Amino acid sequence: MTPANRRIALAARPRGLPVPSDFALVAEPVPVPGAGQFLVAHEVLGLAPAARLRMSDEAGSYAAPLQIGDTVYGQAVGRVVASRHPDFREGEWVMTMAGGWQDYSVTDGTKVWKIDPALAPPAVWLGALGVSGMTAWIGLREIGRPRAGETVVVSAASGAVGSCAAQFAQAWECRVIGIAGGTDKCRYAVDSLGLAACVDYRAPDFAEQLRAACPQGVDVYFENVGGAVRETVWPLLNQGGRVVVCGLISEYNRQGAPEPGPAWSDVLAKRLCVQGFILSDRVHRQAEFVAEAGELYRRGRLRFREDASFGLEQAPAAFIAMLQGRNLGKSVVHLTEPRKT
């Protein structure tokens, strides 16, 4: 009997925050790799806010929108179980950026990384040593370029990307201030990640707390959130400040006119650099990233926390919770027995 490939398909385009009925669980035969392809059996899926962007069909997204019925986009870690590709052998562990929310995927190796489960458990390759960590690293290395002693503010600081950005900046000897929602996340950022401070954006005196935490102003703002959080950081930016536009989670569910950007007069007057980026343009630096991040991970200076769900059918609920900020750490879905991470 042929095993089934279960997958989560987009059933309807969400309006605002997705709801469970926007998704459908579908079972189909497991695909068969063609020449130059291989089949990956997924073990863990990574959920990322950017998947929300592909669920809309608005122009201007950086990714082609999903069609109704398509498998939801996402990263997966798994093992090669059948291969007609010369560079990938059965049994090898990989992270595939476009694996999708499903049990199996076929790929020609594009945007697939081999991973080393001896260095870190599979889920870590979806987070600190995967797309989340590399997104943080590219944004800081290429745009933020923080120098030792500078003040770096990271929004969504307890999240998958933010926690890595904060820890890289700390490894580079910056003063790192986090922003997160709620006392648990802030405590995690300070106690576990070792940030200089983490400010709760839900606090009534958020702006005052942030200003007090940044007495030298802000040299780099790593933007994961957008909206009101950005407005609060903006006046604190120093001359020559860099704004790494990595994500805008507060705006992904937005409908109607786009959020207006920074005052242009500030861009000129403060010589700001405001720059967006997308990891998929920069994957050629993956080996360099893993060398640095892997060493930090090994030394305990790149901590990773997963917010785990179990079972493919839990992916939509976990995704919705993540968009609401109810996760702590990288949202992942284990498809097989949970592994110790």
Contact positions vs its own copies (CB under 8 A)? 53, 60-62, 226, 230, 239-240, 245-248, 251, 258-278, 281
Question: Nearer Cβ to its own copies, position 69 or 235?
Answer: 235
Taking the complex as a whole, how short is the minimal distance between the CB of residue 268 and its own copies, in angstroms?
4
Q: Give the phi and the psi of residue 273 in degrees, each rounded to 5.
A: -115, 115
Question: Nearer Cβ to its own copies, position 109 or 227?
Answer: 227
115 and 286 in contact (C-beta within 8 Å)?
no
Question: Nearer Cβ to its own copies, position 44 or 246?
Answer: 246
Q: Give the phi and the psi of residue 305 in degrees, each rounded to 5.
A: -125, 130
Q: Give the phi and the psi of residue 9 in degrees, each rounded to 5.
A: -100, 155
Question: Nearer Cβ to its own copies, position 230 or 334?
Answer: 230
DSSP 98-135: T--SBSEEEE-STTEEE--TTTS-GGGGGTTTSHHHHH
> What six digits make up the tokens of 133?
């960590």
Question: Nearer Cβ to its own copies, position 42 or 141?
Answer: 141
**What is the DSSP pairing of strand 197-200 with strand 112-114?**
unpaired
Residue 68 and residue 22: Cα distance in Å, rounded?
10
Taking the complex as a whole, how short is the minimal distance between the CB of residue 49 and its own copies, in angstroms?
11
Question: Nearer Cβ to its own copies, position 241 or 325?
Answer: 241
Taking the complex as a whole, how short is the minimal distance between the CB of residue 160 and its own copies, in angstroms?
17
Q: Which of 329, 327, 304 is nearest to 317 (CA)?
A: 327
198 and 178 in contact (C-beta within 8 Å)?
yes
Residue 24 and residue 70: Cα distance in Å, rounded?
10
Taking the complex as a whole, how short is the minimal distance between the CB of residue 177 and its own copies, in angstroms?
21
Taking the complex as a whole, how short is the minimal distance between the CB of residue 60 and its own copies, in angstroms?
5
Taking the complex as a whole, how short is the minimal distance between the CB of residue 217 and its own copies, in angstroms?
13
Question: Nearer Cβ to its own copies, position 108 or 266?
Answer: 266
Residue 18: strand, helix, or coil: coil
Taking the complex as a whole, how short is the minimal distance between the CB of residue 69 and its own copies, in angstroms?
24
Apex CA 292: angle with CA 331 and CA 330, to 5°? 5
Residue 301 and residue 77: Cα distance in Å, rounded?
23
Residue 141: strand, helix, or coil: helix
Taking the complex as a whole, how short is the minimal distance between the CB of residue 220 and its own copies, in angstroms?
14
Residues 6+ apart with CB under 8 A from 106: 31, 32, 33, 34, 37, 38, 39, 40
Question: Nearer Cβ to its own copies, position 145 or 187?
Answer: 145
Taking the complex as a whole, how short is the minimal distance between the CB of residue 251 and its own copies, in angstroms?
6
Radius of gyration for the chain, computed over Cα atoms and rounded to the nearest angstrom: 20
Question: Nearer Cβ to its own copies, position 25 or 273?
Answer: 273
